[in-house]
Amino acid sequence: MIILIQILVIFVALAVIGSVLIGKQSHSARAWKKIALSLLAIAMVIAVLFPDTTNKIANIVGVGRGADLLLYILTLAFIGYALNNYLHQQHQRDELNRLARKIAIIEAINRSKQKK
Amino acid sequence: MVIKDVAVIIPVYNEAKVVRGVIERVLKEFKYVVCVNDGSKDSSSEEIGKTDAYLVEHPINMGQGAALQTGIEFARTLPVEYFVTFDADGQHRLQDAQAMVKELRKGKWDIILGSRFLGSAPGIKTSKVVILKLAIRFSNITSGLKLTDTHNGLRALNRHVAETMQITLPDMAHASEMLEIIAKNKYKYKEIPVTIEYTDYSKAKGQSVINAINIGFDTLLRKITK
């Protein structure tokens, strides 16, 4: 039973990181992110209403306590979020740089024309 | 004889104390000097304005890689055949830049890179040597090239390279990225020995060792995502 959770966590971790890294920002990728987020929120509500469920699920997959299971899921969600955000930020910075470069070059060309 | 078919590109960030002297030295040998002021907080812009160099002004600070790309793109509009990138803090020697252009003129290579480990770097700190050697290993692995110095700001390109090169990593990670571009576009490259003169000023401003972690992370991440 212990092996089940280990395989599961490693597999899901790789899938999350892989999808963030390799996945293009397509409509479907963004939709899946929303679905995953909604599911997480629903799971949270259920876990609060029926505190026993997390323990039961944890036992099924081979984790000792429900709290541990939550921690694993949360860690995974956080790593996925952080990576996703970092890549998104870099993409935006790249676009901002291109825009600023264009302005700088236009300005410089105008300035050198005035000099002449 | 002032060389007229070469543009010397100098990225400038907070170099007000030394930049004017460097530019004036370069202008004695090269007609076209393009300074990219990368959002300096000091009076670098005014200092550049006092010289005959072209000034390209980034509206915000974008990093050295971004400044080089801007400089190259502006220099394309000038009537030149060759492009040299040069540091603003006076650590490069003009005779090395001239030797690089001479190599390019032979027409056998697209890009000439300077190597301080083929040449010399008097006054270099041991910690810097260690981190540079690691960086060289790393860059050679990620790019597949074989070089002796991968993080040297002194380079010479022909027009073909200047027209096709697109640097996207804004900070110091551009040095590794440039090598990947060389490999991908199959530019013919050559390394020649250069001397880096580490002045107190350039030493104080040099890259911090810990920043190598940032560069490594970004380079690897980009490799995976591409």
Q: Residue B202: its pLDDT value, please?
A: 60
Q: Residue A21: its pLDDT value, please?
A: 65
Residue A24 or B172, more confident: B172
Do A101 and B70 contact (CB within 8 A), yes or no?
yes
Which residues of chain B have a CB within 8 Å of the CB of A87?
A: 221, 225
| Third-level CATH fold of B3-225 | Spore Coat Polysaccharide Biosynthesis Protein SpsA; Chain A (3.90.550)
Average pLDDT, chain B: 87
Assessment of whether the complete model's pTM goes beyond 0.90: no
Domain boundaries, chain B: 3-225
* Rounded Cα–Cα distance for residues B6 and B87 (Å): 16
**Contact state of B60 with A94 under an 8 Å Cβ cutoff:** no
Q: Residue B170: its pLDDT value, please?
A: 74
Tens of pLDDT, residue by residue over B188-214, are 999 999 988 876 666 655 566 677 777
Q: Classify each residue of A27-50 as buried b or exposed e, where b means 16 or more C-beta atoms within 10 Å of its C-beta.
A: eeeeeebeeeeeeeeeeeeebeee
Give the gap in angstroms from C-alpha A71 to the nearest C-alpha of chain B. Answer: 26
Q: Residue A114: its pLDDT value, please?
A: 79
Report residue A12 as tokens: 């899901």
Which residues of chain A have a CB within 8 Å of the CB of B224?
A: 21-22
Q: Which residues of B touch A (CB under 8 A)?
A: 36, 54-60, 62, 66, 69-70, 73-74, 77, 168, 170, 218, 221, 224-225
Q: Which residue of A has its CA nearest to B67?
A: A101
Tell me the mean pLDDT in the region A56-85: 82
Give the gap in angstroms from C-alpha A9 to the nearest C-alpha of chain B. Answer: 22
Q: Residue B124's Cα: distance from chain center in Å?
A: 18
Residue B89 has what DSSP assignment?
A: T
Tell me the mean pLDDT in the region B67-92: 93
Q: Which residue of B has its CA nearest to A90?
A: B169
* Rounded Cα–Cα distance for residues B108 and A58 (Å): 66
